[in-house]
Amino acid sequence: MQNLQGIIRKSTNNVTNQWEKLGYIANDLANLNTTGYKGVRFEQMLQEDGYLTGAVRTDHSQGSVRITSNPFDVAIDGAGYIPVFSKTGEVAYTRDGSLKQGKNGYLVTSDDWIVGNGIQIPANCYKFTIKPNGDVIAFDTKDAIGKRIGNIPLVRFACPEGLEQAGMNKMIPTEESGEPMLVKEHLCFKQNNLENSNVNVYSAVNDMLRMNASMLASTRMMKVVDDMYNKGINIRE
């Protein structure tokens, strides 16, 4: 048998979990147009003691691929991530293939992280192509024979759901995800394309409306119990 304080405590815990889930849903909607973004879900479970608990899971399903006609854009068609390095030596992994030519001609992400081991595009480069296996081929002139100047690596994880979001559309490995494994033979890269976010806007909006209604009901229940608690105190006095 529960007392009023116990009911209020459980209701507060449940509302806090619902509010956290609402935040994840709102974040998904905010990143609807973010290249390569993977939506998250908040799985909830009602424990035997009446407390609501949950776990955050990332949806690693493939997003749709759109044509951009920009040679610096590359989509990953399949599982895997591109390893990128910051100026300070940090390592992260991303599916955001909206690349550009950075300082000294190196291929970098939109926020200037170096792709792979460093792929330097020559200053006199007429054009370059990115092969499905990640090889980057540079051409000096229109009719010149291409020269391989590097390779965009692709890595995979034993448990991608264990990856932790690091901000700026990047992931970092954890003990649960395991160490990155280099994929040596693949045909996953698509130049002149970008992967869209895999967020389902209709599902996200539906979840947000349901969560809003659930939170309203929970807070009203807390108000009713709080009023009963105050009346009980007044009777005793």
The predicted model scores a pTM of 0.78
Q: How many CA atoms lie within 13 A of 130 on its CB side?
A: 24
| CA nearest to 93, candidates 28, 196, 162, 21 | 162
- The residues, ordered by sequence, that sit 6+ positions from 144 with a Cβ below 8 Å of its Cβ are 126
| Angstrom distances, CA of residue 160 to CA of 21, 60, 82, 122, 171 | 21, 7, 13, 35, 10
pLDDT score recorded for residue 44:
66
Taking only the tens of pLDDT, the chain with its 237 residues reads: 456 666 667 767 777 777 778 888 888 888 888 999 988 877 666 666 666 666 777 888 899 999 998 999 999 999 999 999 998 889 999 999 999 998 888 999 999 999 988 999 988 888 999 999 999 999 988 777 889 999 999 999 999 988 888 888 899 999 989 999 999 999 999 999 999 999 988 888 888 887 777 777 777 766 776 676 676 666 655
The whole-angstrom distance between residue 190's C-alpha and the CA centroid of its chain comes to 20
pLDDT score recorded for residue 162:
86
DSSP state of 105: G
- The residues, ordered by sequence, that sit 6+ positions from 84 with a Cβ below 8 Å of its Cβ are 91, 92, 93, 94, 109, 113, 114, 115, 116, 170
Q: Which residue type occupies 111?
A: D
How many whole angstroms separate alpha carbon 7 and alpha carbon 104?
Answer: 63
